[in-house]
Amino acid sequence: MTKTMESTMTTQLDAAFPVRTRRTSTAPEGVIPQPRSAPITRGVPAPRTPVAPSRSVEEIDALWEDYKATPSAAAREGLILHYAPLVAAVAGRVGMRLPSTVEQADLVSYGMFGLIDAIEKYQTDRSVKFESYASSRIRGAIIDELRAMDWVPRSVRTKARSVDRAYAELEAKLHRTPTEDEVARHLELPVEDLRAIYSQLSTVNVAALDELLGGGDDRPGGVSLGDTLGDDRTLDPASSIEAAETKFLLARAIECLGERERIVVVLYYYEGMTLAEIGRVLGVTESRISQMHTAAMVRLRTRLVEAERA
């Protein structure tokens, strides 16, 4: 009786709440079944890969004690690796005010020397955080290295900043570009001294000819600064075509002149003869040659103007 009731209740429950069975399929022969990937849920961020925890405060204090007691290479290397992100942060702040030609990796390498110097000279008994002490050391090392590579004296850099500041202040005040006299009065300098500063500042800003314009080095088909510079040794295509067209129109206009006027033009402009010499060749006076030359110029000018309008 009990088994009959249990089987009856089970049948009723299965009918009311059918159990969904997973369809099984057989993989083709020679194919290894792969496990199903987890379902992708949109809007839910994927869990981040756990990052190895950094050194604790106690471990860093132990490294400092070990390094200051007996300066070992292992403790020194551990401190350098721990504070290396500080160098990248300081180099990033310094690089924001530098031109794009300065590589960020170079700044980081310069700053590493400052970090090593700070680790060697830091005194743990002082009430100063190492991060604050090392930041100034790192920044100083980067600036010292940049100044050592700079071919422009610091005095010229200072003058450049003062001139730029004067221009900015006068433009904000006058709402236009200031003149040399106005900038000189603002700086309390003679105009000659300001022009001398301009000549010194001409060597401050130097750009690389192979630097791409309007983007990074990874842009395909980029145009470099050298590609935009003009070459005076090459002919301008537009000017060449315009000169050839003018020569053609002038030749046609000369052919339309009278015989004696054409001879005057050829002898005067192509043979380089004077009006008196042309008069002796044609057997007329110099004044008559002058009249013929003036009449020929008027006709040539008229025909060229008509050709341009057409």
Tens of pLDDT, residues 196-248: 888 877 766 667 777 777 655 555 567 777 777 777 777 778 888 888 888 89
pLDDT at 221: 62
Residue pair 161/205 in contact by the 8 Å Cβ criterion: no
Residue pair 67/76 in contact by the 8 Å Cβ criterion: yes
% of the chain exceeding 70 in pLDDT: 77
Minimum mean pLDDT among 40-54, 182-196, 250-264: which range?
40-54
pLDDT at 220: 58
Cα→Cα distances 220→213, 214, 223, 295, Å = 12, 12, 9, 61
Residue 56 has pLDDT above 80, yes or no: no
Q: For 153-188, write each residue's pLDDT tens digit.
A: 778 878 888 998 999 999 999 889 889 899 999 988
pLDDT at 140: 92
Q: What average pLDDT does range 17-36 have in this prediction?
A: 43
Q: What average pLDDT does range 258-266 have in this prediction?
A: 90
Residue pair 38/47 in contact by the 8 Å Cβ criterion: no
Do the first three CATH levels of 154-201 and 245-309 match, i.e. the same topology?
yes
List the domain boundaries for the chain: 57-149, 154-201, 245-309
pLDDT at 25: 42
Q: What are phi and psi of 212, to 5 degrees?
A: -75, 145
Q: What are phi and psi of 306, to 5 degrees?
A: -65, -35
Provide the CATH number for the domain formed by 154-201 in this structure: 1.10.10
Q: How many CB atoms lie within 10 A of CB 195?
A: 13
- Fold (CATH) for 245-309: Arc Repressor Mutant, subunit A (1.10.10)
Class in CATH terms, 57-149: mainly alpha
pLDDT at 38: 41
Which one, of 48, 73, 34, 78, lies nearest residue 60 by Cα? 78
Write the single-letter amino acid at 258: G
Q: Is the pTM higher than 0.85?
A: no
Q: Kindly report the average pLDDT of the chain as a whole number.
A: 78
Q: Which residue has the higher pLDDT, 179 or 19?
A: 179
Characterise 39 by phi-psi region: left (phi > 0), alpha (psi -120 to 50), beta (else).
beta
